[in-house]
Amino acid sequence: MSSTAIESTADTLSRLGINADFASSAPNLHKNLQLLSSGQIELAKMLLEMGQSHLFEHWADPGVDDEEKKGFFDQVDRLNSSYPGGLASYVKSARQLLADSQSGKNPFDGFTPSVPKGEVLTFGDEDFINFEEAGIREAQKAAFVLVAGGLGERLGYNGIKVALPAETASGTCFLQYYIESVLALQEASCRLVQGGCQTRIPFVIMTSDDTHARTVELLESNSYFGMEPAQVKLLKQEKVACLDDNDARLAVEHRNKYRIQTKPHGHGDVHALLFSSGLLKIWHDAGLRWVLFFQDTNGLLFKAIPASLGVSSTRQYHVNSLAVPRRAKEAIGGITKLTHADGRTMVINVEYNQLDPLLRATGQVDGDVNDETGFSPFPGNINQLILELGPYIEELTKTGGAIKEFVNPKYKDASKTSFKSATRLECMMQDYPKTLPPSARVGFTVMDAWLAYAPVKNNPEDASKVPKGNPYHSATSGEMAIYRANSLILRKAGVQVANPVQQVFNGQEVEVWPRITWKPKWGPTFAEIKRKVCGNCIISQSSTMVIKGRNVFLEDLSLDGALLINAVEDAGVKVRGSVQNKGWILENIDYKDASVPEQLRIRGFRINKVEQLEKNYSEPGKFSLEP
């Protein structure tokens, strides 16, 4: 028992300056004071001052374990210390935001949206190749941050999303793909330094209670996918308290009145966590210049990274948002220039549910619609941000990493006086530029979606209902997009890749291209891929090609079937001639078929490996594969 608990209640009260008001405002709590430490009593006072006396309504109920009451304060302590400014500040912000929401205040009041200017890249042209080269030079000065605290309710998958295979031809999961891509950049960048370099690119993963343990397990059981464990840091975000009403009364759990309901605060937490971890300063002192943020399930992402990093360094962008052409009403935010009546401007993501009302409110009567190109004029934010480290630290030193929050209550009716379920404040990492001064250089880089963006967010049922022409963003489309991108890249490099066929999986019609995949180190840039391909190469639509090796060269290859090449770092393999076999066949499966593993069910097909040519090169040397 602590010394404060031994004190008489009267002594404790007087030492803490608690008067009769306290006792009358929460008599049930008052009866329990002898259980609490002085720190906990301070927290209790803060809660009462913030109008949260309802939290103690059940404290005099008979038969309640004192441990529950102590557990309550442990939770309050965590909620208080993990939020910048503490719970009092959280409740205060919540009241303001809830009042604004109730009165229908437009967060963009006074601002007029317009289409901003940015860098628009075309894959494979001279500019693209030059930007990629610049990006590779900069990569050794970069740190990568993956936000992976979300459970992915829209996807409905039971595991963590980064453990899902990005594609099933090689079976590589998202986390492996990301780590191997960072290692490929590290290697390519170091090769440009005379005599090589010892750089280890830092890799941070933001997790949450929902994902942390399973992320650690995935890393550890796979030896960190080849990365040095010291390169990887996990930062766990905490959830925030839920709110029951417009007065921001904290919501208690239905089954346990001694616990406050909590929900995720959003990916915006990443900035405060990075700042408080001290990592930014360590990186700065080590001479790093860039921090790249990305999301959990985009299997194309690293095809866009080198060129975008090149844009950041060439254009000297403090903030560079990656974007793709966006279809109107597609569920991705739009990059928008906002100009205030008083002359202020900012280039910022406007979330998909806000863009349409904002456009309508500012005179664009049709709202969020496509223009003559068939796309919305506002580029789609894919939430991949590249920040310049120096200005980023400067800004965070002022803000502590706090990001402008919002609240999105689901009201019971038009009176907006009660909610269908408890709500909470949220924040988004792409809102970082909102507090920047006008002098900040905020830009963006647009690339074709086929090259840069194919997230896995929607479950099969929802995906099959996506309006025609809009992307499914499902496990099916995410995998098919990887094969399509690799096929198109090889085409651009001179390979004759057959046209796709249309097939329907889980109610989604998709283009099925040859199933081509390679390890990131085989082709970190387009220039490198072009170097690996020569002569007259042909790949048929029904083919599969999996390249696991760095120095594998395709020369006059004609492939009609399945070809798998596994080669160690220093094995140089020339692949020539004709490979023909029965290959691998895609077989339909139904997402409702519980006998099939969930990670396959959600894509609607599995690969039947009928016949293949598989070659392994486990020793260094020069080899030729001529079937």
Instruction: Report CA-CA distances (Å) from 444 to 319, 395, 603.
Output: 8, 19, 32
Q: How far is the CB of 608 from ligand UGB (least distance, A)?
A: 31
Nearer to ligand UGB, 172 or 430 (CB): 430
Nearer to ligand UGB, 295 or 423 (CB): 295
Nearer to ligand UGB, 138 or 351 (CB): 351
Report the site for ligand UGB in 53-112 (rule: CB under 6 A).
none
**Is residue 264 involved in binding ligand UGB (CB under 6 A)?**
yes
Q: Report whether 355 contacts 378 (CB < 8 A).
A: yes
Report the site for ligand UGB in 185-214 (rule: CB under 6 A).
206, 208
**Is residue 445 involved in binding ligand UGB (CB under 6 A)?**
no
**Is residue 604 involved in binding ligand UGB (CB under 6 A)?**
no
Rounded to the nearest 10 degrees, the angle between the axes of helix 38-49 and helix 66-81 is: 70
Q: How far is the CB of 208 from ligand UGB (least distance, A)?
A: 6
**Is residue 164 involved in binding ligand UGB (CB under 6 A)?**
no
**Is residue 326 involved in binding ligand UGB (CB under 6 A)?**
no
Q: How far is the CB of 326 from ligand UGB (least distance, A)?
A: 9
Q: How far is the CB of 445 from ligand UGB (least distance, A)?
A: 14
Give the C-alpha separation, 510 to 504, whole Å: 6
Amino acid making up residue 383: N
Nearer to ligand UGB, 479 or 528 (CB): 479
Please pick, from the candidates 296, 388, 431, 479, the single residue that binds ligand UGB as defined by CB under 6 A.
Answer: 296
Q: Report whether 561 contacts 613 (CB < 8 A).
A: yes
Please pick, from the candidates 135, 333, 409, 433, the single residue that binds ligand UGB as defined by CB under 6 A.
Answer: 333
- Which one, of 488, 509, 508, 506, lies nearest residue 498 by Cα? 488
- Which one, of 485, 443, 180, lies nearest residue 304 by Cα? 485
Residue 2 φ then ψ, to 5°: -75, 160
User: Which residue has the closest beta carbon to ligand UGB?
Assistant: 150
Q: How far is the CB of 333 from ligand UGB (least distance, A)?
A: 3
Backbone CA torsion sign across 206, 207, 208, 209: negative
Interface with ligand UGB by CB under 6 A: which range of 3-11, 258-266, 590-598, 608-616?
Answer: 258-266
Please pick, from the candidates 53, 295, 476, 551, the single residue that binds ligand UGB as defined by CB under 6 A.
Answer: 295
Tell me the CA end-to-end span of the chain in Å, nearest whole number: 78
Give the C-alpha separation, 474 to 479, whole Å: 9
Nearer to ligand UGB, 237 or 543 (CB): 237
**Is residue 428 involved in binding ligand UGB (CB under 6 A)?**
yes
Strands 552-560 and 533-534: parallel
Interface with ligand UGB by CB under 6 A: which range of 246-254, 259-267, 338-346, 394-402?
Answer: 259-267
**Is residue 165 involved in binding ligand UGB (CB under 6 A)?**
no
Q: How far is the CB of 280 from ligand UGB (least distance, A)?
A: 18
Please pick, from the candidates 168, 186, 383, 542, the single residue that binds ligand UGB as defined by CB under 6 A.
Answer: 383
The Cβ of residue 192 has, within 10 Å, a number of other Cβ atoms equal to 13
Nearer to ligand UGB, 15 or 78 (CB): 78
Report the site for ligand UGB in 221-240 (rule: CB under 6 A).
237
Q: How far is the CB of 566 from ligand UGB (least distance, A)?
A: 31
Please pick, from the candidates 91, 148, 456, 482, the single residue that binds ligand UGB as defined by CB under 6 A.
Answer: 148
**Is residue 376 involved in binding ligand UGB (CB under 6 A)?**
no
- Which one, of 241, 292, 285, lies nearest residue 270 by Cα? 292
Please pick, from the candidates 150, 379, 471, 478, the single residue that binds ligand UGB as defined by CB under 6 A.
Answer: 150
Instruction: Report CA-CA distances (Å) from 201 to 144, 229, 231, 283, 319.
Output: 8, 12, 7, 10, 20
**Is residue 348 involved in binding ligand UGB (CB under 6 A)?**
no
Q: How far is the CB of 114 from ligand UGB (least distance, A)?
A: 19
Eight-state DSSP code of residue 333: -
Q: Report whether 425 contacts 90 (CB < 8 A).
A: yes
**Is residue 349 involved in binding ligand UGB (CB under 6 A)?**
yes
**Is residue 266 involved in binding ligand UGB (CB under 6 A)?**
yes
Interface with ligand UGB by CB under 6 A: which range of 15-23, 282-290, 376-384, 388-396?
Answer: 376-384
**Is residue 147 involved in binding ligand UGB (CB under 6 A)?**
yes
Please pick, from the candidates 134, 322, 332, 463, the single residue that binds ligand UGB as defined by CB under 6 A.
Answer: 332
**Is residue 274 involved in binding ligand UGB (CB under 6 A)?**
no
Interface with ligand UGB by CB under 6 A: which range of 142-150, 253-261, 336-344, 559-567?
Answer: 142-150
**Is residue 457 involved in binding ligand UGB (CB under 6 A)?**
yes
Residues recorded for the chain:
627
Give the C-alpha separation, 9 to 15, whole Å: 10
At 521 the three-state DSSP class reads: helix
The site for ligand UGB, by CB under 6 A, has a size of: 24
Instruction: Report CA-CA distances (Å) from 581 to 49, 355, 543, 607.
Output: 75, 51, 9, 15
**Is residue 124 involved in binding ligand UGB (CB under 6 A)?**
no
Nearer to ligand UGB, 296 or 479 (CB): 296
Alpha helix stretches (DSSP H) within 159-250: 174-191, 212-221
The alpha carbons of the chain give a radius of gyration, in whole angstroms, of 27
At 525 the three-state DSSP class reads: coil
**Is residue 149 involved in binding ligand UGB (CB under 6 A)?**
yes
- Which one, of 92, 88, 94, 89, lies nearest residue 405 by Cα? 94
Q: How far is the CB of 398 from ligand UGB (least distance, A)?
A: 24
DSSP assignment of 8-72? -HHHHHHHTT--HHHHHH-HHHHTTGGGS-HHHHHHHHHHHHTT-GGGGTTTT-TT--HHHHHHH
Q: How far is the CB of 360 from ligand UGB (least distance, A)?
A: 20
Side-chain-facing half-sphere of 11: CA atoms under 13 Å: 8
Residue found by looking up tokens 């860039």 in the block: 290
DSSP assignment of 351-394? -HHHHHHHHHHTT-TT-S---TTSSEEEEEEEEEEEEEHHHHHH
Give the C-alpha separation, 510 to 505, whole Å: 8
Q: How far is the CB of 33 from ligand UGB (least distance, A)?
A: 36
**Is residue 575 involved in binding ligand UGB (CB under 6 A)?**
no
Nearer to ligand UGB, 161 or 249 (CB): 161
Give contact residues for ligand UGB (rule: CB under 6 A): 147-150, 206, 208, 237, 264-267, 295-296, 332-333, 349, 351, 381-383, 428, 430, 455, 457
